[in-house]
Amino acid sequence: MKLGKTAQWILTLGILVALLVGVVTVYGRQRAAQSNLNSELTRVNQDFAKYTAQKGDLQGRLNKAQSDLSNLKKDFRQSTQSVEITGAIFEAADKSNVDITRITSSSPAKGGGGAGVYDVFTLTIEAKGGVVALLKFCGKLSETFPDSVIGTVRIGVSEAGGESTISVALTVYCYAGS
């Protein structure tokens, strides 16, 4: 079957119209997708600018936190030394059968020279117990802290057979590194 020229033109126009509708539809979808992508890109750029600004602030806060942490680690190390010293003093008191009534300590001072750096803790210890037990306690302090210096020792002897008291000034040296 052969089509006439008019039918061929109509068929050709129909095919062209169908193709044109398809192209317009695809083009419309592409434009919509491009519009969505452009709006998404704009939003992402705004987020990027916001997060970049926050990054500087957060970086500054991180640096400050790390500096604070470093300072706290130094203090913590000194605090643990003080706790260890106090624990050893209470242990010496238990072994000597005396009761600690008071311990005062200064903040650690730095000392040292060619042999290295050390922390110096100055403590005042007050305890009560029998005279022999108090003297034994003084000896235990010397054993426990062989590199320490016992400054002054005051013993108050009770006349009525009660408990005597002792006050010891103790300087403890703790190695802190070279």
As a whole number of angstroms, the distance between CA 86 and CA 160 comes to 31
Single pTM value for the model:
0.54
Per residue in 92-145, pLDDT (tens digit) is 999 999 999 999 888 777 776 555 667 888 899 999 998 888 899 989 998 988
User: How far is the CA of 120 from the CAs of 16, 44, 83, in angstroms?
Assistant: 98, 58, 14
As a whole number of angstroms, the distance between CA 78 and CA 80 comes to 5
SS3 8: helix
Task: Assign domain 1-178 to its CATH architecture.
Answer: 2-Layer Sandwich (3.30)
Q: Which helix (H) or strand (E) holds 149?
A: strand 149-156
SS3 151: strand
Per residue in 4-16, pLDDT (tens digit) is 888 888 889 999 9
Domain ranges of the chain: 1-178
**Residues 6 or more apart in contact with residue 155 via CB below 8 angstroms:** 131, 134, 135, 164, 165, 166
Per residue in 139-165, pLDDT (tens digit) is 999 898 887 888 888 988 887 767 889
Residue type for position 74: K
